């Protein structure tokens, strides 16, 4: 019943308008996004949508390969001193910015400084940085206060990370995102236009100098096949799906799980699993309310939940979710099943007794969830029913995302709230590790383990400490993981070079259309 | 009572379509009242194994993506239809009606009030709903209030016009001459004359409230998502249009049939009332 | 051969699924230039008769169920719609009771007259407009050059009725039907309009059928009169003969109920009872329940037509003795 | 006429002021603040507070209101917190889509609505009338988005005749082909509104056909179709014109649902997204633009009244 593209251009209907011709040249990629990104200033914005677009424009010193290991991008290499406190990074030469300027150490230092002070994740690294200076036209030296293992991962994680701008753009920048005229990077595409609610257009950067080496994940050679990339906000999921099937879009993101089988055997569409799964988190309020220090009550809540059922309902087909207790997915270097026996007991009776022992006497527990993310809401509905069966008095409060974020910052407004977390290459980046993140988990045991974890730079030792941290999480339950969710995107079957799975943010260099 | 029955027969005599519409509405009312007795399943009960199963036994209308029985939710949806319809009518006629009538009667204050109504009317209905809902958080009562306010503006405008007309009628002067106070003139003389046009306006509001509620649900601003209402069922399951078509066909048909019936009934009543007001209620 | 002959005309109205008779077989005729008055209480069928003659019953629930209407020798009921329309507004024309609403409010009065002219005659827009101005002058509208472009709401009731007359007479019709033309006007204007009609009749030789419930108006303007009661002609005669010798108690009742200026009377005489409803059928003479002289015979069988003078007829068993 | 227009526009100012206060209050009462949305999930309260201060949103409401009002009076609606672009350009972008969509929908309403309305009035009671007014009412009972979903499925996905969603900007004559993106959305929007217009045309024509001047027209021996168009419809047009005005105004702002289903970058969609993003300047700007639009449409309707009905004089 589906037709080929040439049929579609023979428009037979419409007394008003009867001539054909597609609105876009063949050399254009049309990407249907979930909405408008807040801004493309990568350093201060953590929205995945923003990175999906912006990582075509801006590049960092490092990036990740297919196995999520950091590889050089704008940097050509680095030497780390024996005491691990001095890092000298050599920069690639002949790299041009979109405004024609050459990239030099001065630009890198200015970018790192602004990121360090104002970047979303800047403090994670710069709390341990003594100084950063240009020690040559194409060489930057970083002095740390103490050895800090995850520095390379943090440099490579572009989302809210250190993307490199020209010094002229980034020097005066503060917390407020840089304006559109400042969107000047070194990437294969450059910013062309932002028509509100209609599209963000990137065009090929003609004199882009690509890193050498065979393409591997985001690393290696990058060639811009498409002339333009159009990112169009299509908030309605139905419109996104219909659009790809009807040939109006070439790629669409965040597609509901229940449609996976149907779309898999629709030959005009290919389904692309997201390599790095996202995972749902239900945070507990550690500063006020019934769950304040009552770890036993929190464990009772976690015991009452049968997370597999919730994943079936909220996500659908088996191969799109895993009831996996470890915070990092199977096959990832940080995978660890420590403490995961308490992940999904689903034992209402045990939970009831545990709750009574923890002194729970039926007072209402405020559970905040937003409708902006369908699977948040669907999972919360299942959890509420399961907790009700286990005798918990859950007051489910449904808000739009903006309201939830604001109430979440006020300790007296909630006890549980539902959010999700993107895939991260290093556990330090998980929001629950940040003491000021709502939920405010900052027990002495946590701080002690956390400091040990960041201090060491030996991977094996860090993995062991992470196991202890995960056990502590299942014991103090500052947050509950709901399970790994493999979101998937759909693309027109005419796109080549996409590969079976994408990393977190789809990339469209080395990709072309038939 | 027989007088009312007789009047109803009069209105619907010779109008086959309208009488079918009326009987459908009566059926909906009965189903709404007896919902707990008729519904085979609990409309909220989640059954992950039976998710998205097609119509058959025991799920006559199939199940939604939570595994909830669509047939039971449709039955409770009838209850929500009656609730939203009558709620919106009451809010619209009470607020709008009073404002309209009083502003026409007490012209000095009335002008200011009606200017206010104009400003409110300049607000497109859905934007008004949008702002109120985000302010008040989603619930059945808030949805009813919002839809009620939306139609209060049009009702106020219509009542304002009619009361102006009635105020100039001779029988009002007669009442004044016989010493009647403002209160009795308004409620014993003017209001009875407004009852039949109000009844017609009510039926149109009842009908359009359903569409407005469905639109709000679609935008994620209407009833809380798990509340069983036809609008919600359409809005929450719309992505399954090809995967589980029954989730959109049954509720869709129910809404269309019910709104169609309400419109037919409204039309029949409007044609039978006093022609003086007929051109006022051209459209809601 | 008379200009208009109505022979045993019957008209009924379709209501609640049945055909209820309104006009129960009336006959009369009008010669060229002659004025016939039809008088009767409202609901006696006089207006429907005029609409039937004019052919305006299409699309209404009223049907002609019997009898013939011959106009200029042609039986109007045999004509098809197109032929019927060719006569309307050209050979015969009509003016109505409510001048305030009889003109289309959104068009200038000149254009409405031009429309009638150009419908029936090959005439240019300019010539038609000039003709319209002449007609306005003919009907004594002041400053016709300006008034031709004014809208109906800018004119008084009397002026509007004059415009209606101008429009009606624009194609020099043989017959003008006037359905209570002056009822809605106040007395002074009434006289002006009636004089105007008489004057125009004089000049153009137009026959007039004047319908009214006011015997005074009829007496003043009509050559002959037909008195209708409940769908039948109770009495018909030349105007002078009728008032000289009344041959039907109903006509007498009508006459007595007109207040006379110089006679001071305690109570005005009124005909007792009311006109029977359309769906009530009455044995014998329809007037017997209200007739002061009703006898047994009146209650049992219907009176046939009695001839009193040469053109004086009456449907009353005691027509001969009913003299003054 | 010109004086009347000026007078009407002057009366618009109090309405605008009232509306601006109402909108400003509403918008700032809604929980949630732009800064936290901009910075996203991992921002700390201090960072949110810093950005709020930078954006000037920490000042008391009254100060913010007057500061904004003074700007608006000078024609500067401020910059969108979200896009960083001036509010007016953001709105203009949306306005083009909404107005084109509304115009195309009005075309369908005129092409389908009026003839069917006149037809069902002329054949009152007969099967034509029952079929058309029944059909019109049926269409008026269909939820817009439900209709839209099926139109997309049939005409875009299965048949592939028309694009399913989106609307590329029309920035020149060459881009007129983009109008076909509005075909399905305008039909979806036209269905319920055409139904209203059909019933209105029918009702007002039936009323007019009972008036005396129509009988006069018939007495002039005019052809029935001339009577129907020149005399009956011409008068009915007065009531219909008013409804057209309101329908057009409603179309521009009520099309939120259709814009969402077809993901058109119109004003309705802009307001919904701006409220979700708490983009205060854009919300306020759009609402004011819509209030002005309503006032202008009302004014045009009144001017049309005066043109159509000589009895109405513009005081």
Strand ranges in A266-359 using DSSP code E only, listed in sequence order: 269-274, 278-284, 321-322
pLDDT of D286 reads 87
* Other beta carbons less than 10 A from residue C184's beta carbon: 19
Of D149, D257, D271, the CB nearest to B215: D257
Q: What is the distance in angstroms between the Cα of D60 and the nearest Cα belonging to chain A?
A: 18
Chains A and C share 3 or more Cβ pairs within 8 Å: no
H-assigned helices in A358-496:
374-389, 401-408, 444-455, 459-476
Same domain, A419 and A339: yes
D209 contact residues in B (CB cutoff 8 A): none
Dihedral, D258, D262, D265, D269 alpha carbons, nearest 10: 40
Confidence band, pLDDT 50/70/90 cuts, at residue A86: very high
Of the candidates B202, B208, B170, B205, the residue with the CA atom closest to the CA atom of residue B189: B170
Within a domain: residue B251?
A: yes
CATH code: domain of residue A28? 3.40.190.10
Indicate the average pLDDT of chain B.
Answer: 83
Average pLDDT over residues C7-21: 87
Q: What is the distance in angstroms between the Cα of A89 and the nearest Cα belonging to chain D?
A: 28
pLDDT of D176 reads 77
End-to-end CA, chain D: 9
Flag whether pLDDT at B281 surpasses 80. no
Confidence band, pLDDT 50/70/90 cuts, at residue C10: very high
Same domain, A405 and A481: yes
Q: With contact defined as beta carbons under 8 Å apart, do D145 and A239 qualify?
A: no
C101 contact residues in D (CB cutoff 8 A): 211-213
Count of domains observed in chain B: 1
Among the ranges A22-31, B217-226, B275-284, which has the highest mean pLDDT value?
B217-226
pLDDT tens sequence across A357-396: 999 988 899 999 988 888 999 999 999 999 999 999 999 9
- Residue D63 preceded by cis peptide, ω within 30: no
Within a domain: residue B233?
A: yes
Beta pairing partners, A38: none
Of the candidates D283, D293, D294, D296, the residue with the CA atom closest to the CA atom of residue D23: D283
Q: With contact defined as beta carbons under 8 Å apart, do D114 and D197 qualify?
A: yes
Within a domain: residue B93?
A: yes
Among the ranges C139-143, C260-264, D253-257, D275-279, which has the highest mean pLDDT value?
C139-143
- Is D88-264 a domain of CATH 1.10.3720.10? yes
Q: Across chain A, how many H-helices and E-strands are there? A: 15, 22
Which tokens is B109 given? 């204050």
Of C98, C120, C151, the CB nearest to D221: C120
Indicate the average pLDDT of chain C.
Answer: 87
pLDDT of D247 reads 80
pLDDT tens sequence across C165-189: 999 999 999 999 999 988 888 888 8
Q: For residue A116, what are the domain limits?
A: 62-170
ipTM: 0.79
Within a domain: residue A509?
A: yes
CA distance D230 to A215: 75
Same domain, A412 and A318: yes
C-beta atoms of D257 and B131 within 8 A: no
C-beta atoms of D183 and A20 within 8 A: no
Confidence band, pLDDT 50/70/90 cuts, at residue A13: very low
The CA radius of gyration of chain B, in Å to the nearest whole number, is 21
Lowest-confidence segment of A155-164, A251-260, B144-153, C287-296 by average pLDDT: C287-296
pLDDT of B277 reads 46
Query: What are the φ and ψ backbone dihedral angles of C182, each rounded to 5 degrees?
Result: -115, 0
CA distance A54 to A177: 13
pLDDT of A18 reads 41
Count of domains observed in chain A: 3
* Other beta carbons less than 10 A from residue A291's beta carbon: 24
Same domain, A470 and A352: yes
* Other beta carbons less than 10 A from residue A495's beta carbon: 18
Beta pairing partners, C64: C11
CA distance A157 to A422: 12
* Other beta carbons less than 10 A from residue A499's beta carbon: 16
Q: Please report how many Cα atoms fall inside a 13 Å half-sphere around the Cα of residue A59, on the Cβ side.
A: 30
Average pLDDT over residues A318-327: 90
With 0.80 as the threshold, say if the pTM is over it: yes
* Other beta carbons less than 10 A from residue B83's beta carbon: 17
- Asked if A25 has any chain D CB less than 8 Å from its own CB, the reply is no
pLDDT of C116 reads 92
pLDDT tens sequence across A221-255: 999 999 999 999 998 888 999 999 888 999 999 89
Q: Which residues of D219-254 are buried (b: 16+ CB within 10 A; e: fewer)?
A: bbbbeeeebbebbbbebbbbbbbbbbbbbbbbbbbb
Flag whether pLDDT at D138 surpasses 60. yes
Scanning D218-247 for CB atoms below 8 A from B yields 239, 243
pLDDT tens sequence across A99-120: 999 999 999 999 999 999 888 8
C-beta atoms of A12 and D43 within 8 A: no
pLDDT of B126 reads 66
pLDDT of A15 reads 40
How does strand A139-144 pair with strand A189-195?
unpaired
Confidence band, pLDDT 50/70/90 cuts, at residue A12: very low
Residue with tokens 């066909």: B249
Within a domain: residue A469?
A: yes
Q: For residue B115, what are the domain limits?
A: 2-277
Chains in touch with A (3+ beta-carbon pairs under 8 Å) read B, D
pLDDT of A402 reads 81
Within a domain: residue B284?
A: no
- Asked if A372 has any chain D CB less than 8 Å from its own CB, the reply is yes
pLDDT of B280 reads 44
Confidence band, pLDDT 50/70/90 cuts, at residue C264: confident
Within a domain: residue B89?
A: yes
Query: What are the φ and ψ backbone dihedral angles of C259, each rounded to 5 degrees?
Result: -65, 135
pLDDT tens sequence across C121-156: 999 999 999 999 999 998 889 999 999 999 999 998
B46 contact residues in A (CB cutoff 8 A): 313, 381-382, 385
The alpha carbon of D156 is separated from its chain's Cα centroid by a whole number of angstroms, namely 25
C-beta atoms of C101 and D212 within 8 A: yes
Classify residue A483 as left (phi > 0), alpha (psi -120 to 50) or beta. Answer: left
pLDDT of A5 reads 44
- Asked if C17 has any chain D CB less than 8 Å from its own CB, the reply is no
Lowest-confidence segment of A300-314, A349-363, D192-206 by average pLDDT: D192-206
Within a domain: residue B282?
A: no
- Asked if B112 has any chain D CB less than 8 Å from its own CB, the reply is no
D235 contact residues in C (CB cutoff 8 A): 104-106
pLDDT of C322 reads 55
C-beta atoms of A436 and D44 within 8 A: yes
Beta pairing partners, B54: none
pLDDT tens sequence across B75-85: 999 999 999 99
Best mutation site among A2, A243, A377 for testing chain B: the one with the most B CBs within 10 Å? A377
Q: Please report how many Cα atoms fall inside a 13 Å half-sphere around the Cα of residue A426, on the Cβ side.
A: 24
Beta pairing partners, C228: C233
pLDDT of C37 reads 92
Same domain, A241 and A307: no
pLDDT of C299 reads 83
- Asked if D102 has any chain B CB less than 8 Å from its own CB, the reply is no
CATH code: domain of residue A424? 3.10.105.10
Q: Where are the domains of chain C?
A: 240-324
DSSP C155: S
Confidence band, pLDDT 50/70/90 cuts, at residue B9: confident
pLDDT tens sequence across D159-189: 989 988 888 877 777 777 788 899 999 999 9
CA distance A207 to A224: 11
DSSP A486: -
Chains C and D share 3 or more Cβ pairs within 8 Å: yes
CA distance D117 to D135: 11
pLDDT tens sequence across A414-453: 999 999 988 888 888 888 888 888 888 989 999 999 888 8
Lowest-confidence segment of B275-284, C20-29, C217-226 by average pLDDT: B275-284
How far from A479 is each of A182, A327, A439, D131, D183, CA to CA, in Å? 38, 11, 8, 62, 49
Within a domain: residue A50?
A: no
Indicate the average pLDDT of chain D.
Answer: 85
pLDDT tens sequence across B10-61: 667 667 778 888 999 999 999 999 988 888 888 888 888 888 889 988 888 9
Confidence band, pLDDT 50/70/90 cuts, at residue A6: very low
The alpha carbon of C254 is separated from its chain's Cα centroid by a whole number of angstroms, namely 17
Confidence band, pLDDT 50/70/90 cuts, at residue A1: very low
Within a domain: residue A121?
A: yes
How far from A93 is each of A188, A200, B6, D196, CA to CA, in Å? 16, 30, 95, 69
pLDDT of D101 reads 92
CA distance C101 to B91: 41
CA distance D226 to D216: 13
């Amino acid at each position: 019943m589906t037709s080929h593209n040439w049929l579609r251009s023979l428009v037979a209907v419409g007394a008003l308008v009867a001539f054909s011709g597609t609105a876009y040249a063949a050399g254009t990629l049309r990407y249907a996004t979930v909405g408008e990104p807040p801004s493309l200033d990568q350093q201060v914005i953590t929205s995945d949508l923003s990175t999906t677009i912006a990582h075509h424009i801006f590049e960092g010193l490092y990036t990740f390969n297919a196995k999520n290991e950091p590889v050089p991008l704008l940097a050509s290499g680095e030497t780390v001193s024996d005491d691990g406190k001095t890092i000298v990074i050599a920069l690639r030469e002949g790299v041009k910015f979109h405004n024609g300027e050459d990239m030099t150490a001065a630009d890198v230092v200015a970018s790192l400084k602004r990121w360090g002070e104002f970047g979303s994740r800047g403090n994670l690294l710069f709390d341990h940085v003594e100084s950063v200076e240009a020690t040559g036209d194409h060489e930057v030296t970083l002095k740390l206060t103490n050895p800090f293992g995850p520095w390379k991962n943090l440099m490579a994680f572009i989302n809210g990370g250190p993307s490199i701008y020209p010094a002229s753009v980034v020097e005066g920048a503060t917390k407020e995102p840089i304006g559109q005229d400042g969107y000047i990077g070194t990437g294969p595409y450059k910013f062309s236009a932002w028509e509100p609610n209609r599209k963000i257009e990137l065009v090929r950067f003609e004199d882009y100098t690509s890193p050498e080496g065979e393409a591997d994940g985001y690393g290696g050679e990058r060639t811009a096949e498409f002339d333009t990339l159009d990112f169009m906000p299509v908030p309605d999921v139905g419109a996104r799906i219909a659009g790809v099937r009807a040939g109006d879009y070439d790629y669409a993101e965040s597609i509901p799980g229940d449609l996976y089988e149907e779309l898999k055997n629709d030959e005009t569409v290919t389904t692309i699993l997201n390599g790095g799964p996202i995972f749902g988190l239900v945070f507990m309020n550690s500063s006020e309310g019934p769950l304040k220090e009552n770890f036993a009550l929190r464990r009772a809540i976690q015991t009452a939940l049968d997370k597999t059922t919730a994943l079936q309902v909220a996500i659908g087909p088996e191969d799109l979710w895993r009831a996996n207790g470890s915070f990092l997915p199977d096959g990832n270097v940080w995978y660890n099943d420590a403490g995961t026996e308490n992940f999904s007991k689903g034992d209402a009776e045990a939970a009831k007794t545990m709750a009574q022992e923890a002194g729970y006497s039926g007072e209402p527990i405020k559970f905040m969830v937003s409708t902006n993310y369908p699977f948040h809401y669907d999972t919360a509905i299942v959890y509420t029913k399961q907790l009700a069966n286990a005798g918990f008095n859950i007051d489910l409060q449904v808000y739009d995302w903006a309201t939830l974020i604001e109430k979440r910052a006020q300790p007296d407004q909630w006890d549980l709230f539902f959010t999700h977390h993107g895939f991260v290459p290093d556990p330090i980046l998980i929001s629950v590790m940040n003491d000021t993140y709502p939920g405010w988990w900052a027990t002495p045991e946590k701080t002690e383990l956390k400091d040990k974890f960041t201090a060491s730079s030996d991977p094996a030792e860090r993995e062991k400490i992470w196991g202890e941290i995960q056990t502590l999480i299942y014991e103090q339950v500052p947050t509950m993981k709901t399970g790994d969710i493999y979101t998937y995107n759909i693309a027109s079957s005419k796109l080549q070079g996409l590969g079976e799975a994408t990393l977190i943010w789809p990339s469209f260099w080395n990709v072309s259309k038939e | 009572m027989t007088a009312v029955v007789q009047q109803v027969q009069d209105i619907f005599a010779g109008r086959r379509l309208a009488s079918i519409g009326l009987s459908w509405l009566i059926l909906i009312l009965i189903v709404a009242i007896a919902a707990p007795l008729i519904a085979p399943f609990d409309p909220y009960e989640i059954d992950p194994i039976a998710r998205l199963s097609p119509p058959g036994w025991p799920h006559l209308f199939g199940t939604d993506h939570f595994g909830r029985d669509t047939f039971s939710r449709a039955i409770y949806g009838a209850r929500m239809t009656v609730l939203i319809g009558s709620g919106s009518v009451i809010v619209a006629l009470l607020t709008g009606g009073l404002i309209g009538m009083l502003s026409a009667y007490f012209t000095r204050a009335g002008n200011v009030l009606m200017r206010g109504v104009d400003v409110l009317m300049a607000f497109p209905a859905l934007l008004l709903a949008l702002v109120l809902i985000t302010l008040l958080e989603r619930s059945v009562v808030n949805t009813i209030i919002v839809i009620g306010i939306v139609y209060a503006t049009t009702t106020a405008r219509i009542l304002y016009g009619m009361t102006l007309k009635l105020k100039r009628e001779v029988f009002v002067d007669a009442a004044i001459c016989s010493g009647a106070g403002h209160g009795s003139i308004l409620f014993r003389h003017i209001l009875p004359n407004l009852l039949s046009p109000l009844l017609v306006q009510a039926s149109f509001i009842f009908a359009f409230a359903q569409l407005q509620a469905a639109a709000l649900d679609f935008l994620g601003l209407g009833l809380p998502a798990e509340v069983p209402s036809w609008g919600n069922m359409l809005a929450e399951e719309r992505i399954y249009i090809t995967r589980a078509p029954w989730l959109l066909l049954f509720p869709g048909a129910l809404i269309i049939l019910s709104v169609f019936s309400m419109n037919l009934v409204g039309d029949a009543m409007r044609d039978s009332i006093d022609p003086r007001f007929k051109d006022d209620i051209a459209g809601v | 051969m008379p200009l208009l002959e109505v022979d045993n005309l019957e008209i009924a109205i379709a209501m609640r699924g049945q055909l209820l008779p309104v006009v129960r077989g009336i006959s009369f005729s009008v010669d060229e230039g002659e004025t016939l008055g039809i008088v009767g209480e409202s609901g006696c069928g006089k207006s429907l008769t005029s609409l039937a003659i004019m052919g305006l019953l299409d699309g209404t629930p009223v049907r002609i169920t019997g009898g013939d209407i011959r106009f200029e020798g042609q039986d109007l009921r045999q004509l098809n719609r197109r032929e019927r329309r060719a006569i309307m507004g050209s050979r015969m024309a009509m003016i109505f009771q409510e001048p305030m609403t009889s003109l289309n409010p959104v068009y200038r009065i000149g254009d409405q007259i031009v429309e009638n002219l150009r419908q029936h005659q090959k005439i240019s827009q300019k010539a038609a407009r000039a003709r319209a101005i002449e007609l306005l002058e003919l009907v004594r509208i002041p400053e016709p050059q300006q008034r031709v472009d004014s809208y109906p709401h800018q004119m008084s009731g009397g002026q509007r009725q004059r415009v209606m007359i101008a429009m009606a007479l624009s194609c020099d019709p043989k017959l003008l039907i006037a359905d209570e033309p002056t009822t809605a006007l106040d007395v002074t204007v009434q006289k002006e309009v009636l004089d105007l009609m008489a004057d125009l009749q004089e000049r153009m030789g137009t026959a007039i059928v004047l319908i009214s419930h006011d015997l005074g108006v009829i007496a003043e303007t009509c050559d002959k009169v037909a008195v209708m009661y409940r769908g039948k002609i109770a009495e018909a005669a030349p105007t002078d003969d009728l008032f000289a010798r009344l041959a039907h108690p109903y006509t007498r009742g009508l006459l007595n109920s007109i207040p006379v200026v110089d006679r001071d009377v305690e109570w005005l005489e009124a005909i007792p009872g009311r006109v029977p409803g359309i769906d009530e059928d009455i044995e014998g003479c329809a007037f017997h329940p209200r007739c002061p002289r009703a006898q047994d015979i009146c209650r049992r069988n219907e009176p046939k037509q009695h001839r009193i003078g040469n053109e004086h007829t009456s449907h009353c068993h005691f027509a001969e003795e009913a003299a003054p | 006429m010109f004086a009347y227009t000026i007078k009407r526009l002057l009366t618009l100012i109090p309405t605008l002021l009232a509306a601006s206060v109402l909108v400003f209050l509403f918008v700032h009462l809604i929980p949630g603040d732009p800064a936290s949305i901009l910075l996203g999930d991992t921002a700390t309260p201090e960072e949110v507070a810093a950005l709020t201060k930078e954006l000037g949103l920490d000042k008391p409401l009254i100060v913010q209101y007057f500061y904004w009002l003074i700007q608006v009076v000078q024609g500067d609606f401020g910059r969108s917190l979200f896009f960083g672009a001036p509010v007016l350009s953001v709105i203009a972008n949306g306005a083009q889509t909404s107005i084109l969509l509304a115009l195309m929908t009005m075309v369908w309403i005129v092409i389908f609505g009026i003839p069917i309305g006149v037809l069902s009035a002329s054949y009152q009671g007969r099967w034509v009338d029952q079929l058309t007014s029944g059909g019109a009412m049926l269409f008026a009972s269909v939820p817009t988005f439900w209709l839209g979903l099926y139109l997309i499925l049939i005409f875009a996905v299965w048949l592939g005749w028309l694009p399913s969603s989106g609307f590329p900007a029309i920035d020149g004559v060459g881009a007129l082909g983009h109008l076909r993106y509005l075909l399905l959305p305008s039909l979806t929007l036209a269905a319920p509104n055409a139904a209203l217009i059909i019933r209105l045309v029918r009702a007002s024509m039936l009323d007019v056909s009972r008036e005396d001047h129509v009988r006069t027209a018939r007495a002039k021996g005019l052809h029935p179709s001339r009577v129907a168009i020149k005399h009956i419809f011409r008068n009915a047009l007065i009531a219909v014109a008013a409804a057209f005005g309101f329908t057009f105004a409603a179309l521009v702002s009520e099309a939120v649902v259709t814009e969402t289903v077809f993901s058109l970058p119109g004003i309705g969609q802009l307001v919904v997204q701006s409220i979700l993003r708490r983009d205060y300047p854009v919300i306020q700007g759009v609402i004011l633009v819509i209030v002005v639009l309503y006032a202008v449409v009302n004014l045009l309707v009144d001017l049309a009244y005066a043109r159509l009905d000589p009895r109405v004089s513009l005081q």
